[in-house]
Amino acid sequence: MKPSEWLLAAFVAAIWGLNFSFIKLGVAHIDPLLLAALRFALAAFPLLLWVARPAIAWRWLIAYGLAFGVGTWGGVSWALRSGLAPGLAAWLLQSSAFLTPLLAWLWLGEALSRRQRQGALVAGLGFVLVLLSSAGPGSTALGLALMLLAAASLSLANVIVRRSGARAMLALMVWSSLFAAPALLALAVATQGLAPLQALPAQLLSQPIALLSLAFQVYPSTLFGYWVWNTLIARHGAGTVAPVALLVPVFALAFSALIFGTRPGPGQSLGMALIAVGLVLAATRWRWPGTAGRLAGAPPQP
């Protein structure tokens, strides 16, 4: 990718890191599954009336909507409801950065470069260190299992984008949300009954932070973020783009510190440093002697 594309991907990672804080603020007032259903309902409407359906088969729209909407964010919401700490959930979701290249290799035959493998190994060590350092009373077995399911679903969604040949990424996000929203709503009703729906109007009217949480999840995080992300995947391949997602939990911890006053411990800090080193290693290659590194995929400089 070009330097500007790496910066854009990192900016999206920052938005997604902040999104975990907004989700935490939102689920304090609204049922998590219902909040996720509203997120995708608003991502679909009213844009669905103006954005043409992407030129891909319906099965890819349905598959992406279910994998991304229900499998990923339904899994995250359910994991948080089961007692998993939001900060740990943000880290666990990023295991998709390792699963996506594997799925891309198995399904699409996308090869990994030696630098990518080395970077993934270093970043993987950092990920494990952060995970071990973050383990605590909130890490229920059900929550951990649901988060791994969410990460696998996110990896599947990334590969579906590549396999479908989709090019209109905003349209993909809007139209796939049409299938995610009702499935999430059905899951919310199945697990909580009608009580969350009955309480929703009063919650939205009395809690402005809930509306702000919902708006942030819909527009910067979902529509803008995944439009940019899926465009980069379609252009450069899932294995190249997905490792940047390891920056999301780094930003998640940083924003959590600013908003909620939480601070990472020594193990988390060391793990984040390893993740950063792994990303730089995977994303750059160096020209010797005496020349600066350039981003992988960028054309040689004259």
Give residue 58's pLDDT: 95
Domain of residue 72, residue span? 3-287
Query: Does residue 98 fall inside a structural domain?
Result: yes
Query: In which element (H, E) is residue 294 found?
Result: strand 294-295
Average pLDDT over residues 251-273: 81
Q: Of 70, 96, 67, which is closest to residue 245 (Cα–Cα)? A: 96
First to last CA, the chain: 18
Does residue 299 form part of some domain?
Answer: no
Is 61 contained in some domain? Answer: yes
Task: Examine residue 294 and state whether it is found in any structural domain, yes or no.
Answer: no
* Residue 147 located in a structural domain: yes
* 228-261 residue pLDDT tens: 988 888 888 867 887 787 788 888 878 888 887 7
What three-state secondary structure class fits 298? Answer: coil
Query: Structurally, how many domains does the chain consist of?
Result: 1
Q: Residue 282 has what pLDDT?
A: 66
Coil vs helix vs strand at 289? coil
CB neighbour list of residue 260: distance below 8 Å, 6 or more residues apart: 21, 24
Radius of gyration of the chain (CA): 19
Any domain includes 300: no
Tell me the whole-structure pTM to 2 decimals: 0.78
Distance from chain centroid for Cα 54: 22
168 within domain boundaries: yes
Per-residue pLDDT, averaged over 119-130, amounts to 79
Question: What is the average pLDDT across 260-276?
Answer: 79
**Which helix (DSSP H) or strand (DSSP E) does residue 211 occupy?**
helix 208-216
